A and B are shown apart, each in its own frame.
Chain A
Amino acid sequence: MKKKRLIWHIYPSFVLLLALAMISVAISASRIAHNFHYERTEKELTNATYLIVERFKAGLITNNTSEINILCQSLARKTGYRVTVILPSGVVAGDSEKDSATMDNHGNREEVLEAKAKGIGQFKRYSNTLKEEMLYVAMPLTIGGEPKGIVRTSLSLAKIDEALVQMWWKIFLAGLIIALIAVLATALISRRISRPLEQIRLSGKSFGQGGQYEKLLSCSISEVDFLIHTLNIMADQLNARISTIKRQHDEQSAIFSCMVESVLAVDGEKNLIRINKSAEKLFQVDAASSLEKNIMEVIRNVDLLELISRSLAGSDTQEMEIFLSDTDRYLLGTGSALHGPDGQRVGAVIVLNDITRLRKMERMRRDFIADVSHELNTPITSILGFTATLRDGTVDNTADQKRFLDIIHKQSNRLKAIVEDLLALSSIEDSTEKGEIELEENHIAAAIHSAVQVCQTAATEKNIQIEISCAETLKANINLSLMQQAIINLVHNAIKFSEPGTKVEIIAENFDTEIAIHVRDQGPGIAQKHLSRLFERFYRVDDSRSRSLGGTGLGLAIVKHIARFHGGSVSVQSTVGEGSRFTIHLRCG
Chain B
Amino acid sequence: MPVKFNADLVKLKEKLLRMGAIAEKMIHNISLVLIDENMALLDRIYENEKELDRLQIELDEETVKLIGIYAPVAGDLRLLLMVTRINAEIERIGDKVVDIGHIVGKFLQEKGSKKIINFTHIADDTQGMLRKALNAFVNKSHSEALAVINADDEVDQQTDQAFRVLFTHMLDNPQVIGYILGQMLVAQALERIADHAVNIAEDVIYMVKGEDIRHLDKVEENNSDEHSS
Interface of A with B (CB < 8 Å)?
A: 269-270, 294-297, 300-303, 305, 323, 325-326
Contact = CB atoms under 8 A, between A and B. Distances in A.
B127 A325 contact: yes
Nearest to A544: B114
Contact of B17 (A269, A296, A323, A325): A296
Given A323-B28, A325-B25, A325-B127, A300 B14 contact: no
Q: Name A's interface SS.
A: mixed
A297 B13 contact: yes
Given A325-B25, A325-B127, A326-B128, A300 B10 contact: no
30 contacts: A269-B7, A269-B10, A294-B10, A294-B14, A294-B17, A296-B13, A296-B17, A296-B18, A296-B21, A297-B13, A297-B14, A297-B17, A297-B138, A300-B17, A300-B20, A300-B21, A300-B24, A300-B135, A300-B138, A301-B21, A302-B18, A302-B22, A303-B25, A305-B18, A323-B28, A325-B25, A325-B28, A325-B127, A326-B128, A326-B131
Contacts of B34: none
A5 to B, nearest CB: 38
Q: Which 9 A-B pairs have the closest CB atoms?
A: A296-B17, A302-B21, A325-B28, A300-B21, A297-B138, A296-B14, A302-B25, A294-B14, A302-B22
B131 to A, nearest CB: 6
B13 A300 contact: no
A294 B13 contact: yes
B14 A270 contact: yes
A325 B124 CA distance: 9
A89 to B, nearest CB: 105
A326 B134 CA distance: 13
Among B20, B128, B138: residue with most chain A CB under 10 A: B138
A303 B26 CA distance: 12
Interface of B: 7, 10, 13-14, 17-18, 20-22, 24-25, 28, 127-128, 131, 134-135, 138
A445 B128 CA distance: 48
Contact of A305 (B7, B21, B134, B138): B21
A351 to B, nearest CB: 21
A235 B135 CA distance: 48
A295 B21 CA distance: 12
B28 A300 contact: no
B52 to A, nearest CB: 11
A294 B138 CA distance: 10
Contacts of A300: 17, 20-21, 24, 131, 134-135, 138
Given A297-B138, A301-B25, 6 more contacts: A269-B7, A269-B10, A270-B14, A294-B10, A300-B131, A326-B131
A152 B219 CA distance: 132
A326 B130 CA distance: 11
Contacts of B127: 325
B144 to A, nearest CB: 14
A149 B153 CA distance: 145
Nearest to B132: A326
Nearest to B26: A302
A340 to B, nearest CB: 20
Nearest to A363: B36
Nearest to A299: B21
Nearest to A309: B18
Among A270, A300, A303, A323: residue with most chain B CB under 10 A: A300
Contacts of B134: 300
A326 B24 CA distance: 10
Nearest to B15: A296
A295 B135 CA distance: 13
Contacts of A326: 128, 131
Contacts of B10: 269, 294
A81 to B, nearest CB: 91
A295 B138 CA distance: 11
B33 to A, nearest CB: 14
A352 to B, nearest CB: 16
Nearest to A270: B14
A18 B22 CA distance: 85
Contacts of B131: 300, 326
Contacts of A296: 13-14, 17-18, 21
A301 B14 CA distance: 11
Nearest to A294: B14
Contacts of A297: 13-14, 17, 138
Contacts of A270: 14
